[in-house]
A and B are shown apart, each in its own frame.
Chain A
Amino acid sequence: MLSPFRITEVSAHCDLPCGVYDPAQARIEAESVKAIIAKVADNDDPDFRVRAMIIKEQRSELVKHHLWVLWTDYFKPPHFEKYPQLHTLFNEATKLAGAAGTKGELDAAKADELLAKIDEIAAIFAETKQG
């Protein structure tokens, strides 16, 4: 409730309070990134390559976004207690989608590493859904 006696926090967040989360969102975008890297390797057309770079950066940003939503909104303190590696996993995964990873580079191995990290997060996510 809004009160004149304190500062109330008001949300300007990106997520619906619908409680629907799924690491598959991040995975699909990461698969797009991997596919784009493969297509660029087979194509010398400069226009195509520029378009591919732009899309690759956008998709990489979406991977980071979906991972951040899981990290900050889905996973709760008890999860981080039970899975102490979670913070590091998210940190590494978002870095792999960033400027030093698929966003900034054209390295298929980085895309594979990113997918593997997302799968590790997805495995923990699945366990929390069973509990």
Chain B
Amino acid sequence: MPGRRALVLVRVRGRSMLPTYRDGDVLLVLRGGRPRPGRAHVVRLPPGTDGSPGPLAVKRITGPAPGAPEHWWMDSDNAAEGVTSFDVGPLAGGRIEGTVIGLVWRPLG
């Protein structure tokens, strides 16, 4: 995982982690730990077809990818939305940047 271990904050943009996390939620993330299957993680998505770097995204790592050691299967919590390993394949371990510890703040309203 990239970076030394550190606690960082991220803000969620979008709806693909509903109902767990909403747009605007601020999450506490442990950067640089090992992936914890079943938990949400901050991942670097694979590059686009035009070569542009993939965005940082929040996804659930469900477990090791079937038949691909050192790779992880990611899913969105909202089945209707979000890029998952069904779309872009499993993620190499180096693309998992941090583990979500929990919600620290949610916008009012």
Candidates B9, B27, B55, B81; contact of A14 at CB < 8 Å? B81
Q: Separation in Å of the A130 CB from the closest CB of chain B?
A: 18
- CA distance in complex: A3, B80 (Å): 31
Query: Contacts of B54 on A, CB cut-off 8 Å?
Result: 17
- Whether the Cβ atoms of B23 and A12 lie closer than 8 Å is yes
Candidates A2, A3, A11; contact of B13 at CB < 8 Å? A11
Asked if B71 is at the interface (CB within 8 A of a chain A CB), the reply is no
- CA distance in complex: A127, B45 (Å): 30
Query: Contacts of A9 on B, CB cut-off 8 Å?
Result: 10-11, 13, 56
- Whether the Cβ atoms of B49 and A19 lie closer than 8 Å is yes
- Whether the Cβ atoms of A2 and B8 lie closer than 8 Å is yes
- CA distance in complex: A3, B26 (Å): 14
Chain A: CB-nearest residue to B49: A18
Chain A CB within 10 A, most for which of B9, B11, B27, B47: B9
Asked if A88 is at the interface (CB within 8 A of a chain B CB), the reply is no
Q: Given A1-B2, A12-B12, 6 other A-B contacts at CB below 8 A?
A: A2-B31, A7-B9, A8-B56, A10-B55, A12-B15, A18-B49
A-B complex: 9 closest residue pairs judged by Cβ atoms = A12-B14, A13-B14, A14-B81, A12-B16, A11-B57, A17-B48, A11-B55, A10-B10, A12-B17
Interface residues of A (CB under 8 A from B): 1-4, 6-20
**Could you list some 24 contacts between A and B, CB below 8 A?**
A2-B3, A2-B6, A2-B8, A2-B29, A4-B31, A6-B9, A7-B11, A10-B12, A11-B14, A11-B45, A11-B55, A11-B56, A11-B57, A12-B14, A12-B57, A12-B58, A12-B82, A13-B82, A13-B83, A15-B83, A16-B48, A16-B83, A17-B47, A19-B48
